[in-house]
Structure 1
Amino acid sequence: MTLRIATYNVNGIKARLPRLLEWLEETQPAVACLQEIKTQDEGFPAAEIEAAGYRAVWHGQKSFNGVAILARGEQPVEVGRGLAGDPDDLHSRYLECDVFGLRVACIYLPNGNPVPGPKFDYKLTWMDRLRTRMAQIMAEEVPAVITGDYNVIPTDADVWSPAAMAADALMQPQSRDAWFRLLGDGWTDALGLHNPRGGVWTFWDYQAGAWQRDHGFRIDHALLSPEAADRLVASGVDKDYRGRERASDHTPVWVELRSVSG
């Protein structure tokens, strides 16, 4: 048996709820990590999610940001929310739970534009704080999946046109260095592992016909601890969902792990 762990930046859970419920019904991931839910905690559609067979933990924020972890038929057990290291950071960008014998963290990493500037500085310090937390998880030697919208294009093979994105925070050397430090710590980029030549996109902008022209890039990732990577069976992108009516500008990304009994 396998467990499918997925991530999906929904770009507003209220606006995209029909698409989200459609995706959950059609693909039935065991765990779904959502970003940019863009709602306060009391506005989260818990009843609709539960009617679809999922229980959830969420960390909301009015109008922007916000993350959630959904589990099919099981209640995720919250481990923590937010990253240590900056008491003034009130953004809802990090949520960590135990579910199905896994440690699952859902992240929405800061975009960082414009470069240079305080938003880019915040991005880099946030990545440092994330690395600290991921090192703590690694030390626990648990099967862990740290997944979500990392807002980092790892290599030039992960974007339709490196020149078009060269000035963007997603592709700056500092952003990429922080990403590769995570891999150097022992985390496995599942989608990158299975697609070494690149060319796999997870985001297409709403502007300039990006979807129709396939002008996309890869910023939604799943990083696996060694204990989870040993159980990795497959990974992929649910690309078709980007082309549906009133779709998010991201598409779901997933990994499949052998279950403990499997």
Structure 2
Amino acid sequence: MRIATWNVNSLKVRLPHVLDWLAAEKPDALCLQELKMEDKAFPLEALQEAGYQAIFNGQKTYNGVAILSPQPLADPVRDIPGFEDAQKRIIAGTLGDVRIICGYFPNGQAVGSEKFEYKLRWLAALTEWVRAEMAVHPKLVLTGDFNIAPEDRDAHPDWKDEIHVSAPEREAFRALTELGLTDAFRLFEQEERSFSWWDYRMGAFRRNFGLRIDHLLVSEALTGASTACWVDKAPRKLERPSDHAPVVLDLAP
């Protein structure tokens, strides 16, 4: 099974890239973030023509998440149950016996800001819900744009901003792993300075000035089945790319 995550930073703009990537990589599930469109505008027909079904949770201009798959996704959940939030950041579904949770985690703006406090509240609510989901679904993948670089090696050494690398954010990431989730990317040897996001400005991609903030966390039942995990930089080299690259995980049957 191949599961991938990709913050497309506007599905309307990046739809041709997504369709080309689906045709080339043939994932069993592609989790998208930052759709930036309402559900009524979701390009379901174009995706169906490409052989993919979808569950999605969108809103106008901001946020929005989806999971695409050739197979039906069972038991969909939109938003964190019990957490009142107007922002559309969560979609979950079950593919075979694997529960997939796709999230667009809050950015946080700046450490100490109101948006940062919202980020921490959101992460705490997510953690408790994922704990409950894992009790029901031993095979679980939590994936998406976490907006957290969990270790120093996940940020360019010259990154000076506290956001994405602060102690509270990294502690929230650890709280998720302490549920019994493992960062699949770190199961395998990786190149130094492996990142998944690069700012559009200042030639950041060319200079590899980035962060690794897009993750696939797998439950213990899937850790041993993980055979490869990598960042696919090719879409970031296209014209009008997303500022994120897909991250891909392969699981043995």
Q: TM-score range by the shorter chain?
A: over 0.9
| CA shift digits 1:212-241 (9 cap, x unpaired) | 111111000000011121211111111111
> Relative to structure 1, is the Cα distance of residues 203 and 110 closer, same or farther in structure 2, using a 3 angstrom cutoff?
same
Structure 2 matches for 1:80-229, cutoff 5 A? 80-87=77-84, 89-161=85-157, 163-165=158-160, 167-195=161-189, 198-229=192-223
Shift of 1:168: 3.0
Alignment-derived partner of residue 249 in structure 1: 243
Partner of 2:15: 17
Shift of the alpha carbon at 1:99? 1.1
Structure 1: how far apart are the matches of 2:142 and 2:88? 16
Q: CA deviation at 1:198?
A: 4.9
Classify 1:75/1:241 alpha carbon distance in 2 versus 1 (closer, same or farther; 3 Å).
same
CA contact (8 A) 1:57 1:78 kept: no
Shift of 1:133: 1.1
| Number of the residue aligned with 2:61 | 63
Offset at 1:103? 0.4
Query: What percent identity do the matched residue pairs reach?
Result: 39
Consecutive unaligned residues in structure 1, runs of 5 or more: none
Equivalent-residue separation in structure 1 for 2:140 and 2:194 (angstroms): 23
Question: When the two structures are superposed, what TM-score results if normalisation uses the length of structure 1?
Answer: 0.93
CA offset digits 1:46-78 (Å, max 9, x no partner): 011111110000000000100000002x12124
Q: Separation in 2 of the partners of 1:197 and 1:18?
A: 29
**Length, aligned pairs only:** 253
Indicate if the aligned counterparts of 1:242 and 1:248 stay in contact, CA closer than 8 A: yes
1:77 aligns with 2:74: yes
RMSD value, Cα: 1.3
Q: Quick check: 1:157–1:197 contact (8 Å CA) kept in 2?
A: no
Helix, strand or coil at the partner of 1:233: strand
How far the C-alpha of 1:115 sits from its partner, in A, is 2.1
Distance in 2 separating the partners of 1:86 and 1:7: 24
Secondary structure at the counterpart of residue 188 of structure 1: strand
Rounded to whole Å, the distance in 1 between the matches of 2:14 and 2:137 is 36
Runs (5+) with no aligned partner, structure 2:
none
* Partner Cα distance (1:242, 1:34) in 2: 15
